[in-house]
């Protein structure tokens, strides 16, 4: 992997990640841009025990632009994008971040503070019409290395409590740019989901190992190799939900060995292709890496990826009902054993 960092016109950082033999990428951003916005404001809900970010500047971000005005495609003579020229994988600071180190003038109070953190965009390919599932094994491995590089960098920043690389695909789940890409959030707090997992680990420090052992012997395994198992969890909340766990317990992406990264790069695109093949349509999905918090539970929280789709049948989506949205009490219309069988039997 070759790593090349440049500065965009407004001072944000962009990093090219390349394979051996790829051309150099040092190009100048020709745009005239205003300064990036200040950080959001965090407000604390003391009854829920949760932080909420208020980021009004995000209203200005691009919303489903035409392909010839895509901000994630390489710049051309007629349109200047976020990325000055051709690339293999490109990572840059989000222009409209939920969290950033540009704190501004927010005064901390008993229930508020600046949303200090970091948000980056990860462009998986310069091909606007491609998808993660169509990347080669070498290209997927390059993305994994980029995720690991950025996780390590984020973890060294002051105030970052958890690093979350993720991808959203499909208008059905709210994507505003069609170009194949994901994001990385460096949270200045431990998010609510992780707090619940940490509470469970206090009761059973071996909960991750116990779950993996149980699921590997169940009928819900979708695919596996020597280093990873992909399975539909016993208590899946979504119609199609797959978790990918490395067989060796590690806290985060930087801790994966070369063999483990190669094995993931071979298995994960297969899972994505199976997802698309179930109904022979491009499935909307959210996919995210759950890593140990930067400063807590490094010896008990185990790295894993969670992938889920809101599509429950051809032409039908799962919308969160009142009980689910308001109370967080999920009802799944598709038995996990059934969705696992459909994924295993899908023709890819």
As a whole number of angstroms, the distance between CA 306 and CA 320 comes to: 18
Q: Which residues are 116's β-sheet partners?
A: 100
As a whole number of angstroms, the distance between CA 82 and CA 71 comes to: 5
Place of tokens 């704190």: 103
Task: Based on the residue annotation, tell me whether 243 is a catalytic residue of this protein.
Answer: no
Burial call 167-194: b when 16+ CB within 10 Å, e when fewer: bbbbeeeebebbbbbbbbbbbbbbbeeb
Of 178, 179, 181, 243, which is the active-site residue? 181
Instruction: Specify whether the CB–CB gap between 265 and 140 falls below 8 A.
Output: yes
The one-character DSSP state at 83 is B
Place of tokens 């009142």: 322
265: left (phi over 0), alpha (psi -120 to 50) or beta: alpha
Instruction: Specify whether the CB–CB gap between 46 and 111 falls below 8 A.
Output: yes
* Token pair belonging to 34: 């205003």
As annotated, the active-site residues are 181
């Amino acid at each position: 992997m070759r790593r090349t960092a440049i500065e965009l016109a407004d001072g944000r950082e962009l990093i090219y990640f390349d394979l051996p033999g790829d051309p150099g990428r040092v190009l100048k951003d020709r745009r005239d841009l205003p300064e990036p916005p200040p950080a959001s404001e965090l407000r604390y809900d003391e009854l829920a025990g949760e932080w909420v970010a208020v980021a009004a500047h995000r209203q200005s971000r691009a919303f489903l632009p035409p392909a010839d005005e895509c901000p994630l495609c390489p710049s051309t003579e007629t349109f200047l994008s976020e990325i000055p020229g051709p690339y293999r994988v490109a990572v840059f600071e989000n222009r409209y971040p939920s969290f950033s180190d540009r704190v501004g003038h927010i005064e901390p109070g008993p229930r508020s503070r600046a949303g200090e953190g970091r948000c980056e965009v990860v462009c998986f390919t310069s091909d606007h019409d491609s998808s993660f599932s169509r990347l080669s094994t070498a290209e997927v491995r390059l993305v994994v290395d980029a995720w690991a590089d950025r996780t390590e960098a984020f973890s060294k920043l002051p105030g970052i409590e958890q690093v979350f690389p993720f991808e959203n695909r499909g208008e059905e789940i709210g994507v505003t740019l069609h170009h194949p890409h994901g994001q990385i959030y460096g949270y200045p707090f431990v998010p609510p989901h992780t707090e619940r997992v940490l509470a469970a680990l206090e009761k059973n420090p071996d909960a991750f190992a116990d779950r993996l052992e149980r699921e590997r012997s169940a009928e819900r395994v979708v695919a596996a190799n020597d280093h990873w198992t992909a399975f539909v969890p016993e208590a899946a909340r979504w119609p199609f939900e797959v978790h990918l766990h490395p067989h060796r317990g590690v806290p985060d992406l930087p801790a994966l060995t070369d063999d483990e990264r190669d094995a993931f790069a071979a298995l994960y695109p297969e899972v994505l292709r199976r997802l698309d093949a179930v109904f022979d349509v491009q499935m909307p999905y959210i996919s995210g890496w759950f890593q140990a918090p930067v400063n807590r539970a490094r010896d008990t929280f185990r790295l894993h990826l969670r992938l889920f789709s809101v599509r429950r049948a051809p032409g039908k989506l799962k919308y969160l009902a009142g009980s689910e949205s308001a109370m967080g009490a999920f009802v799944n219309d598709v038995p996990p054993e059934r969705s696992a069988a459909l994924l295993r039997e899908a023709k890819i």
